[in-house]
């Protein structure tokens, strides 16, 4: 896979009392804060960006290297398509379905245990044992993406695969550190949760290590920490993509203004192919076995990016009222955009929105970090 990084540097000096009145003996002025940016394109099949504020480029490089190493680790651990030397991952579990339990690293145990709870809470809308069905859709999407003559998978093939999606076939033994699929034709797919979980874990680790002012954007998952440290603005601005606009246009329906928050969007406008002039996207409803068709996008705002990732998928599939109940259960705020363009927001989201809520904690010209998928 092609690897590329880009770093952007912008200096922003902080005014200091010491500079105005002279230095006290034995003391030194506080160093400047500077803004940097770096992008990675070798994990989670998306562009991952890190925008942060540090005193030196060396500091930013050190934190970015740590971020990249963790991204590679989680990408390999949650990968269902590739094997890696010295690591048992999701592919290893799938390869051993119906054969034997597989010993895996603790983060995979942690995520899968959470996924079992989420499957019940979401009424099956988010089911990591949907791999057999999602693999069929993946094959068709890869075959027809970029063409105008796509086809739908045969329903009988999807229904046959759906017989092997029971979450109860997933056996997790925390004490032994193993995961086992009892159904030999079952398979795990963590696509609805892996990126958000990884983003959250990485952001927490970097924050604990001293990198406190940054925004991490992983495709449709944006996690922001403390406000920009150079004082240029008091909060981060995260744009919510307009699903009716082209990805290149950068058009937003609104922007969330907040710190220490996650903004995660699931939508029908990026990973899709076309059948008879209709977009066929990647978010599959487990009941119909077809792409969910209630919304064009759903955006979740809450602290935990892993939870937000799960909720964005679940609420894209569920009817709005059921989705509202699930979001309220987890203390999350939501923006739904229906296929006709109608926008509905939870009451708690309005004060955080730049346009609808009139939030004014940053200048109108402040740069936006994109929360789009």
**How would you write 28-95 as a 3-class SS string?**
CCCCCEEEEEEEEEEECCEEEEEEEEECCHHHHHHHHHHHHHHHHHHHHHCCCCCCECCECCHHHHHH
CA-to-CA dists, residue 99 to 186, 284, 370, angstroms: 12, 28, 43
Predicted local confidence at residue 220, as pLDDT: 78
Six token digits for residue 20? 């105005």
Least confident window among 73-87, 132-146, 188-202, 346-360: 346-360
Under CATH, which number does the domain 90-181 receive? Answer: 1.10.3980.10
Taking the whole predicted model, whether its pTM rises above 0.85 is answered as yes
CA–CA separation, 293 and 151 (whole Å) = 17
| Domain ranges for the chain | 90-181
Residue 146: predicted pLDDT? 84
pLDDT band at 245 (very low <50, low <70, confident <90, very high): confident
Is residue 160 predicted with pLDDT exceeding 70? Answer: yes
Q: Is 14's pLDDT higher than 60? A: no
CB contact set of 275 (below 8 Å; sequence gap of 6+): 144, 150, 151, 152
End-to-end CA distance of the chain: give it in Å, rounded: 21
Q: Read off the pLDDT of residues 340-370 as tens digits, 9 standing for 90 and up.
A: 999 999 999 999 999 888 665 444 334 445 5
Matching residue, tokens 């970029």? 146
């Amino acid at each position: 896979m092609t690897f590329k990084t880009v770093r952007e540097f912008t200096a922003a000096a902080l005014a200091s009392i010491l500079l105005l009145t002279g230095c006290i003996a034995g003391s030194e002025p506080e160093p400047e804060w500077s803004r940097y940016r770096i992008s990675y394109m070798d994990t989670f099949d998306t562009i991952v960006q890190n925008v942060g504020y540090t005193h030196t480029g060396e500091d930013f490089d050190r934190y970015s290297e740590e971020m990249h190493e963790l991204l590679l680790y989680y990408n390999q651990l949650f990968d269902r398509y590739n094997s890696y030397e010295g690591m048992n991952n999701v592919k290893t579990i799938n390869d051993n379905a119906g054969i034997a339990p597989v010993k895996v690293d603790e983060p995979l145990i942690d995520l899968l245990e959470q996924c079992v709870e989420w499957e019940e809470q979401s009424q099956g809308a988010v089911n990591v044992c949907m791999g057999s069905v999602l693999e069929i859709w993946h094959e068709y999407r890869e075959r027809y993406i970029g063409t105008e003559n796509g086809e739908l998978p045969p329903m009988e093939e999807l229904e046959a695969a759906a017989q092997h999606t029971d979450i109860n076939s997933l056996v997790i033994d925390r004490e032994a550190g193993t995961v086992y699929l009892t159904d030999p034709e079952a398979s795990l797919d963590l696509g609805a949760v892996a990126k958000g979980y990884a983003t959250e874990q990485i952001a927490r680790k970097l924050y604990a290590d001293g990198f406190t002012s940054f925004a991490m954007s992983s495709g449709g998952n944006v996690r922001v920490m403390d406000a920009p440290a150079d004082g240029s603005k008091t909060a981060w601005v995260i744009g919510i993509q307009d699903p009716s606009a082209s990805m290149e246009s950068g058009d937003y329906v609104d922007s969330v203004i907040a710190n220490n928050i996650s903004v995660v969007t699931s939508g029908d406008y990026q990973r899709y192919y076309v059948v008879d002039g209709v977009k066929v996207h990647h978010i599959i409803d487990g009941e119909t076995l077809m792409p969910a068709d209630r919304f064009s996008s759903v955006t979740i705002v809450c602290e935990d990016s892993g939870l937000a990732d799960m909720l964005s998928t679940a609420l894209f599939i569920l009817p709005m009222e059921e989705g509202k109940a699930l979001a309220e259960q987890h203390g999350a705020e939501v923006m739904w955009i229906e296929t006709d363009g109608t926008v509905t927001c939870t009451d708690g989201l309005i004060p955080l929105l730049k346009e609808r809520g009139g939030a004014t904690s940053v200048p109108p010209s402040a740069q936006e970090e994109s929360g789009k998928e």
